[in-house]
Amino acid sequence: MSAITADVFNDLLAEKLPMGVALGIRALSMGKGTARLVMPFGPHLTRPVDVVCGPALMTLADVALYAAVLSEIGLVEMAVTSNLNISFLRKAERCDVIAEASLLKLGRRLAMGAVELIAAGSDDLVAHVTATYAIP
């Protein structure tokens, strides 16, 4: 069972991560070491050719992994990203983006995870992300 719920995480987003809120990111579900989030499409996310921009995708992935980490350790707000690698695989054209995050390893000081970013309404993998979080 997850240490926190999606509703608790969404409340944390609203209170402490205004950038995530500005992008419309919200948690849909959380399990032990996993999280599923969505970022709704909007013109504020696009490049000139109506595709979701890379910085928005990176932010979604980072927030999703933060949710997965907190699903294991609870409300440790100062767990922070220490490394993030992203491989862009295809354009996210005028669509919501789903983030499916999972922890690969959880230690006392570091957590490593992976995130798949998927174009909603399809199985199209938009990007693959690996990241490490430092745990205080």
| Interval 29-87: pLDDT, tens | 999 999 999 999 999 998 888 899 999 999 999 999 999 999 999 999 899 999 999 99
8 phi and psi, to 5 degrees? -65, -40
Whose tokens are 């240490």? That residue is 3
pTM tops 0.85: yes
The CATH code for residues 6-134 is 3.10.129.10
Give domain limits for the chain.
6-134
- What is the C-alpha to C-alpha distance for residues 61 and 57, in angstroms, rounded to an integer? 6
